[in-house]
Amino acid sequence: MDHFADIEMEHPAGGTPLRMLPPDVAAWVHRVLQADEEVACCLYADILPDGGFGERWAFLTNRRLMVLSSDGAPDKAEMPFEMPLRHIEDAAVREYVGSSALLVTGPDRAHEVVRFSRGSHQEASDLCHRLKEAIEKHKAGDEVDRIPPLPPRRVAHRCPHCGRALRRAGDPCIHCSDRRRILVRLFSHVLPYKGYALVGLALTLTMTALAVVPPYLTKVLVDDVIGQNNLSLFAVVVALLTGVYLARAVVTTFRTFTLEWLGNKVLFDLRVHLYDHLQLLPLSYYNQRQTGQIMSRITGDLQRLQYFIAEGFQEILVNITTMIFIASILLLLDPVLFLFALAPVPIIAATTVLFGHHIHLLYHRIWRRMAGLHELLADTIPGIRVVKSFAQEPRESDRFARRSAELFGQEMRAVKLASGFFPFLGLMTGLGSILIFGVGGWRVLQGQTTLGTLIAFTGYLWQFYMPIQQFGRINHRLQHCVTSAERVFEILDSEPEPVQQPDALVLDPVQGEVEFRNVSFSYEPGKYALQDISFKVEAGEMVGLVGPSGAGKSTLVHLLSRFYDVSSGAILIDGHDIRDLAIWPYREQMGVVLQEPYLFHGTIWENIAYANPNASPDEIIAAARAANCHNFIVNMPDGYDTVIGERGQTLSGGERQRVSIARAVLRDPRILILDEATASVDTETEMMIQTAIERLVQNRTTFAIAHRLSTLRKANRLIVLERGRLVEMGTHEDLVHSGGLYSRLCELQSELSKIQAW
């Protein structure tokens, strides 16, 4: 909910939280503060104790915790809750599904201090954290004279400038980016080709001008040639008409070509630029978005932009010039008739605007239904094996038919609207011409105007009504275009990984000494995935990462690959902070074998050589041998040139895994990450992978994640994680006898393997 719109957001670093409050609330707090009392944190709570929406503020000072309730009337401010710090024994934020509450425990009972919605969650956990620190101090017998102030934080998925919701955390704010600026920005991509754009424009204007000539020549033909029996003029008029039509054909050809070239060229530039940028975006960008969404931006949204760059802008210009041009000609030809010609204009304009609005809503709905259909397809087609195994084909057919029918229904509504609208427009313009014929015919009979003028007039009339109709719809097209441009620029504006820092350190070679120093990391504020992890691994050591799922093992290796930066603490590689290292040279010396190895569509050869395309055949075969995959490869008819299908589906799980190990061997990394490399294969294949891995880990710093603890028997040391914390570290023997989490996991697994051995 948008409660913060009126709060001043600018604040100096370390400023007191009071500066950020609405003035009446700040004034109230000042009134109740005692001497040498200072506000450390404040919390906006938007849910009243009875569950209704309302406004309350909780303040933590160096003396007490208090709540202000004003219910919108500052003069009636009350303090429904107050508790001195020394009486508070514990504090917690209780999370519910749609709200949270701050709970403090006193000597004899607990109090729900305030309830609030999700928007205040971060501030609440900050406050709770500070409060607990103060409680600890009290318990230790120290006096709390000052709690360091903390300005309220806005969660990252709100714009820091206006506080409005962002589509995703870190997105540029759509309200703070001006729409006109987006169009200007779009045109900046046309600038390199401004020559083409100008030529295109000139040709367009010529085309418009040429379209004006024929009706005028008709007038001359009727009035001066036929009326006067002037044969020489007849030849001139016919010649001129021929020339005009010829010129129009030529100009149109060149215009179309120029504009199409321009549109496609700018599109090409943008597409390549966009893809380059996508490659550089950090992993976190992809985690927050659906693949389909990103893909549709590169294809669909760019296509819309092409229309605008090539046609849309010129169309607007042409419409304006045509309208002015034709209007002045009509006025010159016969001012009285012109007034009559204007009669249907309000009706045409109004219906077009109305139609545009309704059809826009309908198209929007159709677009949503279409997206729903796409989602369904993207879900069921890859899952077709499951559908078939459970014999659910009829149900899936039903589901599709239902959604399809919804789409059909909406399409038909649009069709109904459109099929009525265009004939209506035709009727209006037709009535317009009849009016002109009626009035004009009468004027011709009265001798107030010539027959030629009347004929020319009706010829121009169509050209006059046309731009009016188009203006009604151009606005929506423009909106679509701006939306598409926004989506495209949103990608371009997202911060890429800092791969090209000029002063970054290049370690070549990396020795492989890795140290985690008090590392904490959270994907979303307040929820730590890793907390206060410290350990040091010598170069060449193999370390096993053990722990239940969700313990933070994968997060730890993500940090090591620098897919994310630590929230606090530091990771040191050979004694240097990982953030000071140049990313590419560092990652080039890392090898990763994943649980679900990803192979690209291509030959086995290309997949092994992915990280090192210039590898010689010797090197490739040596790597394949080391990974125990040479044998199965040469048994295939096409050997190393065998094409493996999309994502390597033609190979078995174990085969894919070994190809990916060969890829890592060929890379000869200094730091190796094995992410559950043997998780999903049978025992025999596991043995093959195991021996391959043993060859691979020699002389490299290795981090191996494994659920099967047997995989880790070669590890020098084991790091045991639980809920983001490092709970045990040591050799297998040490840990088995320590009676901790690891020994329990070992017991469980040996039970399991007994069952499997049966």
Partner 1 sequence: MSEDSTAERTRLAEGPRQNRAGAIPPDGVRVWVDSFQRLHLSVGDAQFENVRPVQCFPLSGKTDYVSFLDEDGKEVLLLAHPDHLDKDSRYVLKEALEKMYYVAKITRVDSITETMGVSHWSVMTDRGYAAFEVVDREHIRRLPGRRYMITDADGNRFEIEDTARLDARSQMLVHSET
At its nearest, how many Å lie between partner 1 and the CB of residue 474? 19
Q: d(Cα 384, Cα 649) in Å, to the nearest integer?
A: 14
Does residue 73 interact with partner 1 by CB under 8 A? no
For residues 172 and 493, the answer to whether their CB atoms sit within 8 Å is yes
Q: Give which of 92, 155, 160, 163 is closest to 129, Cα–Cα.
A: 92
Strand partners, 544: 704, 718
Q: CB-wise, 71 or 694, nearer to partner 1?
A: 71
Does residue 72 interact with partner 1 by CB under 8 A? no
Q: Which stretch binds partner 1 (CB under 8 A): 117-125, 328-336, 448-456, 729-737?
A: 117-125
Q: d(Cα 235, Cα 468) in Å, to the nearest integer?
A: 36
User: Considering only residues 32, 33, 144, 165, which one is a binding residue for partner 1 as defined by CB under 8 A?
Assistant: 165
How far does Cα 81 stand from its chain's mean position? 43
Q: d(Cα 168, Cα 470) in Å, to the nearest integer?
A: 36
At its nearest, how many Å lie between partner 1 and the CB of residue 601? 29
Q: d(Cα 554, Cα 591) in Å, to the nearest integer?
A: 15
What are 613's two structure tokens? 């395309």
SS3 472: helix
Does residue 118 interact with partner 1 by CB under 8 A? yes
For residues 567 and 742, the answer to whether their CB atoms sit within 8 Å is no
Q: CB-wise, 92 or 572, nearer to partner 1?
A: 92
Does residue 99 interact with partner 1 by CB under 8 A? yes
DSSP H stretches of helix in 140-193: 179-188
Q: Give which of 417, 434, 437, 289 is closest to 356, Cα–Cα.
A: 417
**Tokens 């949503």 correspond to what residue?**
368
Strand partners, 530: 521
Cis before 585 (ω within 30)? no
Give the chain's radius of gyration (CA, Å): 37
Residues 167-186 that bind partner 1 (CB under 8 A): 167-168, 174-175
Q: CB-wise, 24 or 171, nearer to partner 1?
A: 171
Does residue 486 interact with partner 1 by CB under 8 A? yes
Sorted by sequence, the CB contacts under 8 Å of residue 27 that are 6+ apart come out as 74
Q: CB-wise, 1 or 184, nearer to partner 1?
A: 1
Q: Which stretch binds partner 1 (CB under 8 A): 21-29, 164-172, 644-652, 696-704?
A: 164-172
What are 475's two structure tokens? 């606005």
Residues in the chain: 758
Does residue 687 interact with partner 1 by CB under 8 A? no
Does residue 638 interact with partner 1 by CB under 8 A? no
Does residue 368 interact with partner 1 by CB under 8 A? yes
User: Considering only residues 365, 399, 403, 725, which one is a binding residue for partner 1 as defined by CB under 8 A?
Assistant: 365
Other residues' Cβ atoms within 10 Å of the Cβ of residue 291 = 9
What are 423's two structure tokens? 């004939």
For residues 490 and 185, the answer to whether their CB atoms sit within 8 Å is no
Does residue 97 interact with partner 1 by CB under 8 A? yes
Q: In the stretch 33-62, what mask flags binding to partner 1 with x, by CB under 8 A? A: --------------x---xxxx--------
At its nearest, how many Å lie between partner 1 and the CB of residue 735? 18
Q: CB-wise, 47 or 659, nearer to partner 1?
A: 47
Does residue 646 interact with partner 1 by CB under 8 A? no
Does residue 117 interact with partner 1 by CB under 8 A? yes
Q: d(Cα 115, Cα 501) in Å, to the nearest integer?
A: 46
At its nearest, how many Å lie between partner 1 and the CB of residue 97? 5
Q: Which stretch binds partner 1 (CB under 8 A): 155-163, 196-204, 215-223, 379-387?
A: 155-163
Q: CB-wise, 82 or 112, nearer to partner 1?
A: 112
Per DSSP, the residues of 92-146 read: EEEE-SS-EEEEEE-SS-EEEEEEE-GGGHHHHHHHHHHHHHHHHHHHTT-----
User: Considering only residues 105, 230, 296, 567, which one is a binding residue for partner 1 as defined by CB under 8 A?
Assistant: 105
Q: In the stretch 487-506, what mask flags binding to partner 1 with x, by CB under 8 A? A: x-------------------
At its nearest, how many Å lie between partner 1 and the CB of residue 175? 7
Q: Which residues bind partner 1 (CB under 8 A)?
A: 1-2, 47, 51-54, 96-99, 101, 103, 105, 108-112, 115, 117-119, 121, 155, 157-158, 164-168, 174-175, 361, 364-365, 368, 371, 482-483, 486-487
